[in-house]
Amino acid sequence: MDMHNHASMSSKIEDVKSKKSKEAEGEKKEQYTCPMHPEVVSDKPGNCPKCGMTLVKKEEQADQNKMVIEHYNTLYWTHVTNILLGFFLIASPFTFGYQSAAMTYSDIISGVLLVVFSLLSANPFRLWAPWASSFVGVWLLFAPLAFWSPDASAYITDTIVGILAIGLSVLIPEMPGMMKMMMTMPPGPETPPGWTYNPSTWLQRTPIIILAWIGFFASRYLAAYQLGYITHVWDPFFGNGTEKVLTSAVSKSFPISDGGLGSFSYTIEALMGYMGMSNRWRTMPWMVAFFGILVIPLGVTSIVLIILQPVSVGFWCSVCLLTAITMVVMIPLTLDEVVAMIQFMNKRMKAGKPFWKTFWMGDTIEGGSDDKRTPRFTESITKTIPAMNWGMNLPWNLLITLAIGLWWMFYPGNFGVTGAVANNFTTLGALVITFSVMAMAEVGRAMRFINILFALWLIIAVFLIQAVPSNAVWNAVISGVLLIALSFPKGKIREKYGTFDRYIV
* Mean pLDDT of all residues in 437-458: 97
What pLDDT is recorded for position 37?
A: 63
Q: Per-residue DSSP letters for 134-159?
A: HHHHHHHHHHHHHTT-S-HHHHHHHH
67 backbone φψ class: left, alpha, beta (φ>0; ψ -120 to 50): alpha
Residue of 300, 319, 317 lying closest to 309 (CA atoms): 317
Average pLDDT over all residues of the chain: 87
350-382 per-residue burial string, b: 16 or more CB within 10 A, e: under 16: eeeeeeebbbebbbebeebeebeebbeeeeeee
Place 67 in a pLDDT band, splitting at 50, 70 and 90.
low
Own/partner contacts of 428-432, CB < 8 Å, gap of 24 or more, are 428/454, 428/457, 428/458, 429/307, 429/404, 429/405, 430/303, 430/304, 430/307, 430/308, 430/405, 431/304, 431/405, 432/401, 432/402, 432/404, 432/405, 432/408, 432/483
Place 36 in a pLDDT band, splitting at 50, 70 and 90.
low
What pLDDT is recorded for position 12?
A: 41
* Mean pLDDT of all residues in 419-434: 91
What pLDDT is recorded for position 184?
A: 66
Query: 42 pairs with which residues across the strands?
Result: 32
Q: What is the pLDDT of residues 174-186, one digit of tens each?
A: 777 766 666 666 7
What pLDDT is recorded for position 179?
A: 63
What pLDDT is recorded for position 74?
A: 78
More confidently predicted of 429 and 36 = 429
Look at residue 15 and tell me whether its pLDDT is greater than 60.
Answer: no
CA distance 483 to 476: 10
> Which range (62-76, 91-105, 447-461, 486-500) has the least confidence?
62-76
What pLDDT is recorded for position 38?
A: 67
Cβ pair 111, 133 in contact under 8 A: no
Backbone angles phi, psi at 192, to 5 degrees: -60, 150
Place 477 in a pLDDT band, splitting at 50, 70 and 90.
very high
CA distance 131 to 283: 18
* Mean pLDDT of all residues in 124-143: 93
What pLDDT is recorded for position 24?
A: 46
Place 4 in a pLDDT band, splitting at 50, 70 and 90.
very low
Look at residue 5 and tell me whether its pLDDT is greater than 70.
Answer: no
Mapping DSSP to helix (H, G, I), strand (E, B) and coil, where does residue 195 land? strand
* Mean pLDDT of all residues in 298-319: 79
Amino acid identity of 149?
Answer: S
Look at residue 253 and tell me whether its pLDDT is greater than 90.
Answer: no
* Mean pLDDT of all residues in 269-280: 91
Across the beta sheet with 56-57, the strand order is: 41-42, 32-33, 56-57
> Which range (215-229, 296-310, 387-401) has the least confidence?
296-310
Name, of 6-10, 21-25, 97-101, 119-123, the range with top average pLDDT: 97-101
Q: Where are the alpha helices (DSSP H) in 231-317?
A: 241-246, 249-252, 258-274, 280-283, 285-295, 297-307, 309-312
DSSP state of 231: S
Look at residue 293 and tell me whether its pLDDT is greater than 50.
Answer: yes
Number of H helices, E strands in the chain: 22, 3
**Beta-carbon count within 10 A of 124 CB:** 23
453-479 per-residue burial string, b: 16 or more CB within 10 A, e: under 16: ebbeebbebbeeeeebeeebeebbeeb
Centroid of chain to Cα 121: 24
What pLDDT is recorded for position 286?
A: 93
What pLDDT is recorded for position 63?
A: 62
Residue of 136, 129, 197 lying closest to 161 (CA atoms): 136
Tell me the whole-structure pTM to 2 decimals: 0.84
Cβ pair 32, 58 in contact under 8 A: yes
* SS3 readout for 369-421: ECCCCCCCCCCCHHHHHHHHCCCECCCHHHHHHHHHHHHHHHHHHHHCCCHHH
* Mean pLDDT of all residues in 473-479: 95
